[in-house]
Structure 1
């Protein structure tokens, strides 16, 4: 399976809670994030959707211990399988090549269950544009800015949202006025050397780390 740092980061970082039962992976590709979520949430059923072929994702799921709780469908986001149930939220892909930010926002608003969360990883400039598109509709509750090494500028933003029109979703575990903000550095700057923080976040998903 092709494994990218962005996918590993999102799959490991997205909030998973004991009450989560249904999750949606938008732009699933090889199924990496869907399988990571299934690994992290033993009671949840995960659906991955992609506008492109999902054959590789199905093969990867079939070879995994979580095949019974993971399903994939090739379809536009506008006609997906049944949406996540209570407590579920859809992690999304890094890029919006086939799905403009406004369409992604509207799809999340339509699919997100009460109490659910939506997580995404985006390049920094795109993250700011997405925040502007979501203003007043989706509320940012958690953000982690990602650097590749300590001396490099921030390149990516991991962000988690709830519906802005459901105050109870926000007050459950965060302040409505101040999202939780942090920073993560992936590498130390030496070849193939990772920081303790990155290792702690992702070590459950690497065979050798």
Structure 2
């Protein structure tokens, strides 16, 4: 199935060469992240297929939408997906490690929004695929690197939007605080009304304010999606 393009309403994504295929986490983040009217520049860190950057291009008129990908095959596929879209003139992908990118760009470019679906499996387990491990484990992009690097690349009013596991929320927010990044909005994601919270959608900014917290339930039961979830992803998924 992954050999075929994943078709959204306004674009399609090739993913046959990417270790990490399109999943709920990335689409949720791309649909959820706040984009203000003043957002002129966006950076998608660890873009994979490029799906989040493409969602940003669909959602707003920002003239600069950069993406970053360390894996060569995924980088090439993201470039292809950008070129196949209607927004190829606004999308650009860099093939680099985030720390290197920060060093090169911190004096060159500031972003109004940095968005990332970071790797978060930090156990000792490794699969047979090095590319998949790189996409899924914190070794390639630890929270400290993402958060510290973002402080060098964000504009004065810039925001950082991420999706992380619920069990890493407190660790992530503590590290963020060390770099003077503070939560503004947190949405807790549950698969069903009775299931445990598995994910947190987090929006961070440079000023400590009262955090807005809410909850998003994806399904009432199998394939019976909630109104809130449908409203969020309806601009993208074909069958919503």
TM-score by length of 2: 0.77
Q: How does 1:75-90 map to 2 (within 5 A)?
A: 75-80=96-101, 82=105, 85=110, 88-90=112-114
- Alignment partner for residue 70 of structure 1, among 84, 91, 97? 91
Distance (Å, rounded) in 2 between the aligned partners of 1:202 and 1:49: 24
Q: Does 1:160 align with 2:203?
A: yes
Unaligned runs of 5+ in 1: 171-175
- Alignment partner for residue 113 of structure 1, among 155, 160, 164? 155
CA shift, 1:82, in A, is: 4.0
CA shift, 1:9, in A, is: 0.5
2:164–2:199 contact (8 Å) kept in structure 1:
yes
2:110–2:153 contact (8 Å) kept in structure 1:
no
Secondary structure of residue in 2 paired with 1:114: strand
Distance (Å, rounded) in 2 between the aligned partners of 1:59 and 1:194: 32
Unaligned runs of 5+ in 2: 1-12, 14-20, 121-137
Distance (Å, rounded) in 2 between the aligned partners of 1:73 and 1:153: 37
Q: Does 1:133 align with 2:186?
A: no
Distance (Å, rounded) in 2 between the aligned partners of 1:207 and 1:42: 22
Secondary structure of residue in 2 paired with 1:105: helix
Higher mean displacement: 77-86 or 3-12: 77-86
| Structural RMSD (CA) | 1.6
1:105–1:134 contact (8 Å) kept in structure 2:
yes
Distance (Å, rounded) in 2 between the aligned partners of 1:203 and 1:139: 30
Q: Deviations over 1:104-159 (max 9, x none)?
A: 11101111111010000001012221111112421110000000111101000000
Q: How many aligned residue pairs are there?
A: 196
More strand by share: 2
1:124–1:154 contact (8 Å) kept in structure 2:
yes
CA shift, 1:208, in A, is: 2.2
Distance (Å, rounded) in 2 between the aligned partners of 1:117 and 1:30: 23
Equivalent in the alignment of 2:81: 60
Q: Does 1:12 align with 2:3?
A: no
Secondary structure of residue in 1 paired with 2:68: strand
Higher mean displacement: 38-47 or 12-21: 38-47
2:185–2:213 contact (8 Å) kept in structure 1:
yes
TM-score by length of 1: 0.88
- Alignment partner for residue 146 of structure 1, among 170, 175, 189? 189
Equivalent in the alignment of 1:173: none
